[in-house]
Amino acid sequence: MTSSDTSTARVTPTEQGELVVGLLADPGLATDLVARVATDLPGALASAAPDHRWHVETAQGPVGLDSEGLLPMLRRGARLRQDHDWDVVVLVTDLPRRAGTQPLVSDYGSDEGVGLISLPALGTVSLRRRLRRAVVDLVADGLVGRRAAAPVTGPHWPRFSPPVARIASEEPGIDSHLALQGTRGTVRLLGGLVRANRPWRLVPSLSPALAAAAAGAAFGVFYSNIWQLAAVLSVQRLAVVAVLAVTAMATWLVVDNGLWERAAARHHRREATLFNAATAATIGLGVACMATVLIVMTTLAALLVIPPSLLPGPDGWPDVLTVYLRLGVLSGSMGIVAGALGSGLTSPEAVRQAAYSTREQQRRALIDDEEPNAHADDAA
């Protein structure tokens, strides 16, 4: 069978043979997950559709957006099939996809043999298992249509997951969509967006801010009035101080790096709201991770520098350790506010990767650059 065969003939051959499934993953979390599930997919596909032998190949590259901000899955998938001689193509992207106002888990075009899975719609936990099942369901039910048992409507979501449903597609060439339903579906999508951003990876990028924060926290360790204040503040007040400090620094990072998106068009406002919420949560969690590191460092420094006899409060190690921890939280919170000044030295590119709007612009520019080359190749 050659690459010149029609799409439908290659996807649903009449004789038993090997089908090659190609997976293209966006850089980052999508690539990591695809690499982990690729080894399991041939066996899982063979169990679901035993009429064929299965071979899985993977590739990494941005899925890209067109000039209107849409995912050109059919055009991109068709070129990948031609270039790699794949029978079926599944694109795995870390960008959200919608049909109207409904977030999509996956969709496919059987005539072209192309499917797409939106990684954020899979949620925050058990991503490897969910991605594997999503690929199997997409290929076996939609693109090949040879599942041994009765088809399912989507990945096997655990209890309390948002409901999913097949909805009709109004896009040319797309058979149907698998969509998340209701408020829980939107919450699941938001959690998936934050998970795909991997906020803990912001901490190394915030090292200049962490250095400035450590200097500010050191003031609290060596200033006895801060010891007195830490000993008398309630746990609730300390918690409020810490939350306000994290919020202040996260807000500064968002504003200073221009991460807040404003949508001029009404139909883009819902998406802008979702992206802004994901960006704020990502930056907030990243700063919270940095704050945790700083509080631990400050508490250890206080244990090393300050003799227990100098601390206010009752004697006894349990109570003294509590005062040390209170001092670490209060001094660390002071340092976080000072760290906002040091965040001006943080790499803007690293912080902006937390914003989905920035990644959208990068993917759109990539597709715009590829279009002239594609037309030139076709003309040749």
State whether the Cα torsion 338-341-346-350 is positive or negative. positive
Ordered mean pLDDT values, 10 residues apiece, the chain (380 residues)? 34 59 91 92 89 90 64 82 90 86 85 89 90 90 57 43 76 85 87 87 81 87 87 91 93 84 65 85 92 93 88 67 91 87 62 59 49 42
Q: What is the pLDDT of residue 70?
A: 60
- Range of the structural domain that residue 249 is part of: 199-363
**CA distances from residue 264 to 68, 107, 285, 358 in whole angstroms, order as listed:** 14, 28, 28, 16
Distance, in Å, from the CA atom of 172 to the CA atom of 170, rounded to the nearest integer, reads 6
87: its two tokens: 């029978």
DSSP string, 35-103: HHHTTTHHHHHHHH-TTSEEEEEEEE------TTS---HHHHHHHHHHHHT-SEEEEEESS--EETTEE
Residues 6+ apart with CB under 8 A from 240: none
Are 113 and 252 in the same domain? no
Return the pLDDT at 377. Answer: 43
Q: Of 170, 192, 214, which residue constitutes the final position of a domain?
A: 192
Q: Please tell me the predicted confidence (pLDDT) of residue 155.
A: 47
Q: Strands 88-93 and 53-60, how do they pair?
A: unpaired
Whether the CB-CB separation of 371 and 248 falls below 8 Å is answered with no
pLDDT for position 149: 40
Number of domains in the chain: 2
pLDDT of res. 342:
64
Do the strands 53-60 and 18-25 form a parallel or antiparallel pair, or are they unpaired? parallel
Quick check: is 375 in a domain? no
Cα–Cα dist 260/253, whole Å: 10
Same domain, 149 and 263: no
Domain co-membership, 220 together with 282: yes
Nearest alpha-carbon partner for 152 in 137, 172, 163, 173: 137
Q: Evaluate whether residue 374 is within a structural domain.
A: no
pLDDT of residue 21: 93
Is residue 34 located within the same domain as residue 88? yes
| Cβ-proximal residues to 213 (8 Å cutoff; 6+ apart), any chain | 290, 294, 332, 335, 336, 338, 339, 342
Do 147 and 25 sit in the same domain of this protein?
yes
